[in-house]
Amino acid sequence: MSAVAGSPRAGLPARVSARVHASPYLATALGLTLLVAASLYLRTQAITAKFWIDEGLSVGIAHHGFWDIPTVLQQDGSPPLYYLLLHVWMAVAGGDGEARTHALSVALAMLAVPAAFVLGRLLFGARAGWAAAALTATLPFLTYYAQETRMYALIAFLGLVAAGAFGLAYGLRERRALPVFAVATAAMLYTHNWGAFLAAGLGIGWLVLVRTAAPQERRPLVRDGLLGFGAAVVLYLPWVPTLLEQARHTGAPWAERPPLEAIVTSITSLAGGTETGLLVLVLGIAGLLTLQEESRPRARAALGIGVALGTGIALAWLASQASPAWSTRYFSVFVGPALLLAGAGLVRFGKVGLVALALVLVLWFDPRDRQIKGKSDVYRVARTLQEEGLIKPNDLVVTAHPEQGPLLRYYLGPDYRFADAMGPVPDTRVFDWRDALDRLEAAGPRRTLDRLAPSVSPGQHLVLMLPIIRTGRWGAPWTELVRRRSAQWERAVDHDKRFQRIAPVPEFGTRPLPRGLRAVVYLRR
């Protein structure tokens, strides 16, 4: 007599299969485990990649005292949540190395996978939940920023939770989601300033839902909107004075006003390319249009989230016309609502939608590092200087690209003195963005060099760090000024009789130029 699947004599695969079919909860846990494992595999291929400028700033800020970080951020212009979390994470992880700090972003990206499943399932059904989770696990945009010591994986997770809770609370009218929505929205605002654009978009989405609701539904919908958004505002109020101070003195002078096509470029980058972007957009929208026939509450949830997504992107573009602060990486805040809608839409477009979903997942499942390892050459320059004996303790390091300072401090260590194109740096772990453009404009290279030169004794080195101009765009007010100042600084030190030029590092020869910086070493005569 043959053994049955559930008997002790059955093979292990048969017993596991029987258990999975008998328990939907076990099947769900197994499926999510596989997706999280796939996400972990994709998002650890470059986990040891060296830091670039902004990651040096992150680690430097997080090294300050926990309660000091909000005050330090008056110089930076960012909200505090990610840096506070990174401060705690570095203490728990036992250090500030690249892999240790990248692991925080990896963990947040993996956490987004089950969150996408739960929210997608509650909003649009089981198939939509699985689709949203699979898209979240493989999205190349999230893979890239899951291996960066910045807040983008955190803001993507919080944007997902805020948008999902919004759809539940105001579309499906699940009032239990109101506290989740309020907390997630406030946390989003405390993580990145672009969180305000999605929050405003959610507010517009709520107004649209109020306007299109049946008369008897409007009063409770207005009440719950005031509760949810009001609670988020109350939670965020303690940061508002700092935000206003930052707005007066920091800003983003490194950014340019985006043209209209920048929206399309950023969206296609978010979707992993033009082809996959069009596929997901066209079939996703077509599938979402069928929701009205299936379920009015689900259709309203999709409407509210869709309005929030579109309005948030439009507000970000408009705001960047008045005060440029546009970057594709900031689109992390829109990842969550986009994935929820894409998952719901694709599974509702019949077999074509499912085939498109499978194709997108195959194209997105790409373990290559996608240039993650080539974001900066600062580590290599620092090691070369030290290994070749071109820099010694107490030498003066001057960076013409001022915000490189914390990254140089990280890779060179604390045994040197640091200055930038504006003079000595009092806190080497943070760059002071307050009125930085005016301060750099006022700091002439010759005058600043005359201030710094007396601190370099005969026999000591002045190491001038210069950005590699030809590998980046330098058209914004700040970057254009840095480009000019860099050339002026090199000429100023070259022609100063107090210093003798020793060596450039590295010597490129015919090699392609990397991104990052180069060093010129001078000896004090």
Residue 171 lies in a domain: yes
Q: Give yes or no for a contact between 418 and 428, defined as CB atoms under 8 angstroms apart.
A: yes
Of 287, 286, 280, 17, the C-alpha closest to 125 is 287
Residue 4 lies in a domain: no
Rounded CA separation 184/169 (Å): 13
509 and 361 co-located in one domain: no
Rounded CA separation 112/314 (Å): 25
Burial (0-12, 13-18, 19+ Cβ within 10 Å), 449: buried
Q: What is the pLDDT of residue 332?
A: 97
pTM score above 0.85: yes
Q: What is the pLDDT of residue 4?
A: 47
204 and 274 co-located in one domain: yes
What residues contact 329, with CB distance under 8 A and at least 6 apart? 145, 150, 152
391 and 317 co-located in one domain: no
Q: What is the pLDDT of residue 374?
A: 76
Residue 8 lies in a domain: no
350 and 422 co-located in one domain: no
List, in sequence order, every residue forming a beta bridge with 423; answer none if it has no partner.
420
Residue 12 lies in a domain: no
Alpha-carbon distances of 488 from 163, 263, 353, 491, 516, rounded to whole Å: 49, 36, 57, 5, 19
Residue type, 3: A
- The domain that contains 448 carries what CATH number? 3.40.50
- Token pair 């997902």: residue: 160
Residue 407 lies in a domain: yes
273 and 408 co-located in one domain: no
Domain boundary among 313, 338, 370: 370
pLDDT tens by residue, the chain, 525 residues: 444 444 555 565 665 566 556 567 888 999 999 999 999 999 999 999 999 999 999 999 999 999 999 999 999 999 999 999 999 999 999 999 999 999 999 999 999 999 999 999 999 999 999 999 999 999 999 999 999 999 999 999 999 999 999 999 999 999 999 999 999 999 999 999 999 999 999 999 999 999 999 999 999 999 999 999 999 999 999 999 999 999 998 877 888 899 999 999 999 888 888 888 888 988 889 889 888 888 899 999 999 999 999 999 999 999 999 888 899 999 999 999 999 999 999 999 989 999 999 999 999 998 876 667 778 889 999 999 999 999 999 999 999 999 999 999 999 999 999 999 999 999 999 999 999 999 999 999 999 999 999 999 999 999 999 998 876 778 889 999 999 999 999 999 999 999 999 999 988 766 777 778 899 999 999
169 and 297 co-located in one domain: yes
382 and 343 co-located in one domain: no
Domain boundary among 370, 403, 438: 370
Domain span at 108: 18-370
Rounded CA separation 429/410 (Å): 8
Instruction: Count the residues in the chain.
Output: 525
Rounded CA separation 381/438 (Å): 29
Residue 337 lies in a domain: yes
Residue 7 lies in a domain: no
Domain boundary among 324, 347, 370: 370
Q: Give yes or no for a contact between 311 and 200, defined as CB atoms under 8 angstroms apart.
A: yes
91 and 36 co-located in one domain: yes
Residue 5 lies in a domain: no
What residues contact 50, with CB distance under 8 A and at least 6 apart? 98, 373, 375, 376, 378, 379, 380
Q: What is the pLDDT of residue 131?
A: 97
DSSP 331: G
How many structural domains does the chain have?
Answer: 2
385 and 362 co-located in one domain: no
Q: What is the pLDDT of residue 13?
A: 62
340 and 418 co-located in one domain: no
136 and 203 co-located in one domain: yes
Helix then strand then coil, in percent of the chain rounded to 5, is: 65, 5, 30
326 and 432 co-located in one domain: no
Task: Locate 230 and state its tokens.
Answer: 């009001």
